[in-house]
Structure 1
Amino acid sequence: MADAQPRPGGRTARVREAVLRATRDALASGGLHGLDLTAVAHDAGVGKTTVYRRWGTPTALVADLLVEMADRAGDRVDTGSLLGDLEVNAGRVQRTLADPEEGGLYAAIVAAATCDARTAAALEAFYDRRVAVWAPCVEDAVGRGEVPAGTDAAAVVRAVSAPLYYHRLTRTTPPGEEDARRAAAAAVVAAVAGAFASGA
């Protein structure tokens, strides 16, 4: 898979923004199989040679889109408590999945990842980045004595998002605010009980 290119400014940045917007729209409407580089170039209003030269494959487009989505997702918030931090995280995930455009886009990417190894690798890299942003809130909680030493910070963060994604992918209605609060609370209870500690 081609690596995502550096993200310069100026015209190149405008081209990338237009192409990734067209990619988002194509994925949301037709999934990975509906992602055609020539059509993306047309919808973005750029030359198809530019798209083929810079990205080359639909999977490379998805990978770069995931980089852009990770960049836009925002930094962690430090509320001073593990529950507060994870509630913020869960709320962001819930609002994204409940958004008609964003939720549909994530569903399309996850569906594509189940049958395309390169898309799966790009999706894994995206979530690794997002988990790394929020893992320090668990590490801080260890330092405060809220959860046991040796708690797997990444596992706790994933435990917050997992039920929300499961809801989005298996229900006809998106997850709500109460679902987000419950996901955060459940992760905290499990972490406090030592479920995510080494040797648990």
Structure 2
Amino acid sequence: MNQATGAPGTSRPGGRTARVREAVLRAAGDALADKGIGGVDLAEVARLAGVGKTTVYRRWGTVPGLVADLLAEMAESSLPRARTGALETDLAALAGLILKTLTDERQGPLFKAVIAAAASDPQTAAALHRFYRVRIDEWAPCVAEAAARGDVPAGTDADEVVRALSAPLYYRFLVSGDPLDPDTAARAAAAAAAAARAGAYA
């Protein structure tokens, strides 16, 4: 991670630096989940993390800078993609992971807070876009592998298949308030796989 002169989260620190980063990001995530981004204060995050206020201001600078690093850390630590050998079960694993994240008592409110902040803060929006770009890059190869096996048409847009799976889950999470449950996740995965097989994303 760069210091004040660069974007947070651009390298992975070690030793005490890593412990400080972990403590600060954990405190920031808790504050986001509890209060939303408007309730996050750098001095309070420093107090909760047990580190000096100067350290937090010097290394992260602003709340959006802290949120950007939090998203970078979440992308770094998220589970790797499934390798089941079949598109349907790979996509079902992704849908299950999204469901688990969005319904988690801490992660769900945290994502809502970040997504809400991204609507009005360009730095938070850019960090959120990077987070999802990392996750799409992680999971898109399962579609490319399905194309190589002949399970979906050649030239299928793998990124679009991943987006198509994710979209109905996020719609329920953010817009409709309809239940998010394993059946919903399974349907989203099956629908994305069926559409990919039919050539909808070719």
Q: Normalised by the shorter chain, which TM-score bucket?
A: over 0.9
Structure 1 residues 101-124: Cα deviation after superposition (integer angstroms, max 9, x where no partner): 111111111111111111111000
> Any conservation in 2 of the 1:2–1:55 contact (CA below 8 Å)?
no
Residue 38 of structure 2 aligns with which residue? 33
Structure 1 residues 26-79: Cα deviation after superposition (integer angstroms, max 9, x where no partner): 111222221211111111110011001111111111111001111221111111
Distance change in 2, residues 1:175/1:62 (3 Å): same
Deviation of residue 174 (structure 1)? Answer: 5.1
> Any conservation in 2 of the 1:27–1:108 contact (CA below 8 Å)?
yes
> Any conservation in 2 of the 1:90–1:184 contact (CA below 8 Å)?
yes
* CA–CA distance in structure 2, aligned partners of residues 71 and 179 of structure 1: 27
* CA–CA distance in structure 2, aligned partners of residues 182 and 2 of structure 1: 42
* CA–CA distance in structure 1, aligned partners of residues 178 and 159 of structure 2: 28
2:83 partner letter: D
Correspondence for 2:186 among 181, 190, 199: 181
Residue 104 of structure 2 aligns with which residue? 99
Are 1:138 and 2:143 counterparts? yes
Deviation of residue 11 (structure 1)? Answer: 1.1
* CA–CA distance in structure 1, aligned partners of residues 36 and 80 of structure 2: 28
Structure 1 stretches of 4+ with a deviation exceeding 4 A read 171-174
Deviation of residue 4 (structure 1)? Answer: 1.9
Residue 125 of structure 1 aligns with which residue? 130
> Any conservation in 2 of the 1:2–1:60 contact (CA below 8 Å)?
no
Are 1:150 and 2:139 counterparts? no
Q: Which runs of 5+ in 2 are unaligned?
A: none
Structure 1 residues 161-190: Cα deviation after superposition (integer angstroms, max 9, x where no partner): 111111111244651101110010010111
* CA–CA distance in structure 1, aligned partners of residues 92 and 73 of structure 2: 24
* CA–CA distance in structure 1, aligned partners of residues 92 and 177 of structure 2: 24
> Any conservation in 2 of the 1:98–1:174 contact (CA below 8 Å)?
no
Q: Which runs of 5+ in 1 are unaligned?
A: none
Deviation of residue 194 (structure 1)? Answer: 1.2
SS state of the match for residue 148, structure 1?
A: coil
Residue 4 of structure 1 aligns with which residue? 8
Residue 114 of structure 1 aligns with which residue? 119
Residue 69 of structure 2 aligns with which residue? 64
> Any conservation in 2 of the 1:26–1:34 contact (CA below 8 Å)?
yes
Residue 196 of structure 2 aligns with which residue? 191
Q: TM-score, normalised by structure 2?
A: 0.93
Within 5 Å, give how 1:16-95 maps onto structure 2: 16-95=21-100
